[in-house]
Amino acid sequence: MSERIVISPTSRQEGHAELVMEVDDEGIVTKGRYFSITPVRGLEKIVTGKAPETAPVIVQRICGVCPIPHTLASVEAIDDSLDIEVPKAGQQLRELTLMAHDINSHAIHHFLIAADFVPENLMAAAINSVSEIRKNVQYVVDMVAGEGIHPADVRIGGMADNISELARKRLYSRLKQLKPKLDEHVDLIIGLVEDKGLPEGLGVHDQKTMATDVLYGNRDNFDLDRFTEIMPESWYDDAEIGHRACSTIPLYDGRNIEVGPRARMAEFQGFKGSGVVAQHVARALEMKSALSRAIDILDDLDTSAPAQADFDITGTNKLGIGAIEGPRGMDVHMAQIANGKTQFYSALVPTTWNIPTMGPATEGFHHEFGPHVIRAYDPCLSCATHVIVVDDEDSSIIKNEMVRL
């Protein structure tokens, strides 16, 4: 007889989620459904009708874990709407900021999974390694973007200022010195994950991968005409679950897709691995790529060049798109600027893409392995919450029905 197991809320991610599994008499998961139950905050609606400069400041607060990708996606979208060509130095500093943030976020992920993969005798070394890496790359974000959590120097048109030549030299030296430590850390994590003995095929699914760029992001590789969005009650086969979920389901070419480190490596570097182990391996390897790219940027950066473009904030009502490859995957923001105000704003965040892949990924395994699937994708549910429960007549809150914002 089938048994329903509900884990609510789940842990180890930003926001609240629920995992509902159907388990047979042998303890095998026959169906898994993973969805966000984080209350809506309506940040996209808050920025509508306000000056464009407001949007990056507000939407970077979508998530406390990944404020950098949201800030960058926001300014990229507004740049596109205003037809701004960002100067080379400004674009390099944006990319440098994201590379440092990616390394920091991946290191945090390794801290979260340490209890699952790191043996007691290596725990202190692994945690110290995470701390050392984070300290150095957060220093880069602070120096380049103004602050590690809310980067005030990432602006429409580029960056507030270029960095000094002395700062460039210090950051270059610091990251070069970090490389041996980071390489050692990555090798340690990959070895421990591969030796854990997780079931073969755990987390493998048949969804396609999607990425716009190998590391930073490229709006030209995101085709809005291929994007559709449905409500969760159209996705989940259980009406109760569909009504409890609080994020819409985005589709590309009518299908759910996987975004994130593994997707980027599969799309641009020929990475063949799949499943939970491959997710962890790809995430760790990307730390090396991001560090190498950051060092190359600092080596090439002209600190005497302008970092911000001149532009007219009025706007022409063009729909602008910003696509950023954040630590958890493709983060797409859309902005429409006219008469000096934001007329429309929407965010298609990494976790929104990845959430529906959680269910099939759990099927066919003993239910105690289910949480590993969640940790592999490192979801951020605060980012993914983009629907609200209201009454169409008087806008009062309803708990059992949903309407699109």
DSSP for 32-71, written as a single string: EEEEE-PPP--HHHHHTTS-TTHHHHHHGGG-SS-HHHHH
Sheet of strand 341-348: strand arrangement: 316-326, 329-338, 341-348
Highest mean pLDDT among 141-145, 205-209, 354-358: 141-145
Residue with tokens 């239910």: 367
SS3 272: coil
Express each pLDDT in 196-227 by its tens digit: 998 888 888 888 999 999 999 999 999 999 99
Q: From CA 381, how far away is CA 396, in angstroms rounded? A: 24
Express each pLDDT in 363-403 by its tens digit: 444 434 333 333 334 456 556 554 444 565 665 654 443 33
Q: From CA 201, how far away is CA 225, in angstroms rounded? A: 33
- As a whole number, mean pLDDT of residues 80-104 equals 98
DSSP secondary structure code for residue 328 in this structure: T
Q: With bands split at pLDDT 50, 70 and 90, how would you rate the model's confidence at 85? A: very high
From 182, 189, 186, select the one nearest 113 (Cα to Cα): 189
Average pLDDT of the chain, as a whole number: 86
Region of poorest pLDDT, from 150-164, 193-207, 298-312: 193-207
Annotate 35-72 with b (16+ C-beta within 10 A) or e (fewer): bbbbebeebbeebbeeebebbbbbbbbbbebbbbbbbb
| pLDDT of 237 above 90 | no
Residue with tokens 């980067």: 151
Residue 41 CB contacts under 8 Å (≥ 6 apart), including other chains: 382, 385
Residue pair 333/70 in contact by the 8 Å Cβ criterion? yes
DSSP secondary structure code for residue 402 in this structure: -
Q: With bands split at pLDDT 50, 70 and 90, how would you rate the model's confidence at 136? A: very high
Given this model, what pLDDT does residue 151 score? Answer: 92
Full-model pTM = 0.87
- As a whole number, mean pLDDT of residues 175-200 equals 95
Region of poorest pLDDT, from 12-16, 179-183, 186-190, 331-335: 12-16
| pLDDT of 37 above 50 | yes
Q: From CA 14, how far away is CA 381, in angstroms rounded? A: 6
Of 270 and 204, the structure prediction assigns the larger pLDDT to: 270
Given this model, what pLDDT does residue 390 score? Answer: 55
Region of poorest pLDDT, from 87-96, 124-133, 233-242, 262-271: 233-242
Given this model, what pLDDT does residue 143 score? Answer: 97
Q: From CA 72, how far away is CA 262, in angstroms rounded? A: 21
Percentage above 90 pLDDT, the chain: 60
Given this model, what pLDDT does residue 399 score? Answer: 44
